[in-house]
Amino acid sequence: MIVLDKRPQPSRMWSYAAPVLAVVLTMVVGGILFAALGKNPVEVIRTIFLDPLFSKNAWFYRPQLLIKGAPLVLIAVGLSFGFRAGIWNIGAEGQYIMGALCGAAVGLAFYPMESWLIFPLMIMAGAIGGALWGLIPGLLKVRFGTNEILVSLMLVYVAESLLAAMALGPLKNPEGMGFPGSRNLSQYPSAANLELISGSGMHWGVVAALIAVIFAYVLLARHMFGFQVRLAGQAPRAARFAGVNPARMILICMGLSGALAGLAGMFEVSGPAGQVTIDFNVGYGFTAIIVAFLGRLHPVGILLAGAVMALTYIGGGIAQSNLGLPAAAISLLQGMLLFFLLAVDVLTNYRVRFSNRVAA
């Protein structure tokens, strides 16, 4: 009988080795799957994991990693605070939508006026929109004790309906031949979140994601708030004695994660996506939850996890186009990668022991 013993401290060795092991396992099982689909497994694995970084077109794919990864990292960093403190905001998708809607609405309100003030205003609107949407489950939890997991999830659907209503109604492009969707913000200079250096993939959202990672790192490692967050998650009762106000903690974590998700949405809608459309959201908010866990809720880990996740999307696209792999195989592979990462994580937090005694 196999028995798990909780480690007093997560294993340092395994916290580095586990992700590597998971990726290797994914490659092996994924390879078998691809072979079963009649593809050359080595070629497929190489295309997905290495071509985006080291092929002749890598100069193009590498910036794409930033574009695809930035929103994931930005949202995941925000979520990681709450997750550490035991506050489960799983509605980042909704906050992402609301940030995009608020940011875009502010930008479109000024159209076609040109001013350097518009973009900063949009950033503020995006952050506030996301933060307010995130604060709703927070406030309800503080005031009525409702479960924030469920309320934040419900608010995703509400935000999605609102997005559709906006794309079909108030934010619809008056010159769009009646099709749903707003004006293209990336073609409106004062509101556009363009690449800072052409061809680099660096836009303000990437900058914001990097700042968020550094900021979170410092906060968690050096600041009182970081200490309180960790304490609240690990020992809620001790945290209370240490003077942590649980209500304040909930509101800060929900507001912060909402604001960062809102920012991600705002940078996306004004830059890479350009428009508010009915299905503007493509699941970044949910994928970011996975990224946060893959990164072990650690800012640097999240950065790496975001990059790996982006890699599978980009490599997956290349594999589809060059090797004729169905899109379904990619999402299967992503699911597998997550399963293995979650599974081997047990080694980080628990010690595996063989015992003769039959466990209860």
Partner 1 sequence: MDLSAINPILLLASLMVAATPILLAAIGELVVERAGVLNLGVEGMMITGAICGFIIAVATGSPWLGFIGAAIGGAMLSLLFGVLTQFLLSNQVATGLALTLFGLGLSALMGQGYLGIRAPSFPDWHIPLLGDIPVIGPIVFQHDPMVYIGLLIVASVWFFLNRTRGGLILRAVGENHDAAHALGYHVRRTRMLAIMFGGACAGLGGAYLSLVRVPQWTEGMTAGAGWIALAIVVFASWKPGRLVLGAYLFGGVTVLQLNLQAAGVAVPVEYLSMSPYLATIAVLVIMSAGRAPGSLGRIFHAAR
Partner 2 sequence: MKRRTLLASGVAAATLAMAGLPALAQDKTKVGFVYVGPVGDGGWTYEHDKGRQAVEAEFGDAVETVFVESVPEGPDAVRVMQQMALDGADLIFTTSFGYMDQTLEVAAKFPDVKFEHATGFKTADNVGIYSARFYEGRAVQGHIAGNLTKSNIIGYIGSFPIPEVVRGINAAYLAAKAVNPDVEFKIVWAYTWFDPAKEAEAANVLIEQGADVVLQHTDSTAPQAAAQAAGNVYTFGQASDMAEYGPMPRVSSIIDNWAPYYIARTKAVMDGTWESDSTWDGIGAGMVGIGEITDAVPADVKASAEALRDAIAAGEIHPFTGPVNKQDGSVWLADGETADDGTLLGMNFYVEGIEGDIPQ
Q: How far is CA 307 from CA 2, 63, 142, in A?
A: 35, 11, 35
The window from 35-43, 83-91, 127-135, 171-179 that contacts partner 2 (CB under 8 A) reads 171-179
Given a contact cutoff of 8 angstroms between Cβ atoms, the answer to whether 168 and 150 are in contact is: no
275-294 residues in contact with partner 2 (CB under 8 A) are 275, 277-280, 282
Q: Which of the listed partners (partner 1, partner 2, none) does 346 bind, with a CB threshold of 5 to 8 Å by partner kind?
A: partner 1
Q: How far is the CB of 37 from partner 2 (least distance, A)?
A: 15
State the minimum distance, in angstroms, from the CB of residue 347 to partner 2. 34
Q: Of partner 1, partner 2, none, which one does residue 245 interact with (CB within 5 to 8 Å by kind)? A: none
Q: Does 73 bind partner 1 (CB under 8 A)?
A: no
Q: Measured from the CB of residue 158, what is the shortest distance to partner 1 in angstroms?
A: 4
Q: How many residues does the chain have?
A: 360
Q: Is residue 342 close enough to count as binding partner 1 by CB under 8 A?
A: yes
Sole binder of partner 2 in the list 146, 200, 234, 321 (CB under 8 A): 321
Q: Minimum distance between the CB of residue 317 and partner 2, rounded to whole angstroms?
A: 5
Number of residues that bind partner 1 (CB under 8 A): 50
Our finding on whether 313 is near partner 2 (CB under 8 A) is: yes
Q: How far apart are CA 360 and CA 354, in angstroms?
A: 15
Q: Which of 23, 124, 140, 323 binds partner 1 (CB under 8 A)?
A: 140
Of partner 1, partner 2, none, which one sits near residue 54, judging by CB under 5 to 8 A according to partner kind?
Answer: partner 2
Tokens of 140: 């309800």
User: For residue 168, how many other CB atoms are within 10 A of its CB?
Assistant: 14
Q: How far apart are CA 6 and CA 350, in angstroms?
A: 4
Cα–Cα distance, 45 to 51 (Å, whole number): 9
- What token pair was written down for 272? 């890479």
Distant-in-sequence, close-in-space partners of 325: CB < 8 Å, separation ≥ 6: 34, 37, 39, 44, 316, 319
The correct pick among 224, 328, 356, 358 for binding partner 1 (CB under 8 A) is: 328
User: Is 349 an interacting residue with respect to partner 1 (CB under 8 A)?
Assistant: yes
Is 21:344 a contact under the CB 8 Å cutoff?
yes
Tell me, residue by residue from 172 to 211, as one string, x for binding to partner 2 by CB under 8 A and - for no binding. Answer: -----xxxxx--x-xx-----------x------------
59 interface partner picked from partner 1, partner 2, none, CB below 5 to 8 A per type: partner 2
For the bound state, the minimum distance from the C-beta of residue 341 to partner 2, rounded and expressed in Å, comes to: 23
Nearer to partner 1, 157 or 179 (CB): 157
Tell me which residue has tokens 């604001």.
259
Which residues between 57 and 76 bind partner 2 (CB under 8 A)? 57-61, 64, 67-68
Residue 335 touches partner 2, criterion: CB under 8 A: no
Residue (153 or 208) nearer to partner 1, CB: 153
Please, which residues have CB within 8 angstroms of residue 89's CB and are 6 or more apart in sequence?
79, 82, 95, 134, 137, 148, 152, 253, 254, 257, 258
Q: How far apart are CA 348 and CA 239, in angstroms?
A: 24
Angstrom CA distances, 154 to 90, 92, 147, stand at: 10, 11, 11
313, interface contact from partner 1, partner 2, none, CB < 5-8 Å by kind: partner 2
Tell me which residue of 263, 238, 264, 236 sits closest to 250, measured CA to CA. Answer: 236
Degrees to nearest 5, angle at CA 272 with 103 and 61:
150
Terminal-to-terminal C-alpha distance of the chain: 11
Could you say which residues in the range 15-54 bind partner 2, by CB under 8 A? Answer: 54
Q: Contact positions toward partner 1, by CB under 8 A?
A: 3-4, 6, 37, 88, 90, 140, 144-147, 149-151, 153-155, 157-158, 161-162, 164-165, 168-169, 286, 289-290, 293, 326-336, 338-339, 342-343, 345-346, 349-350, 359-360
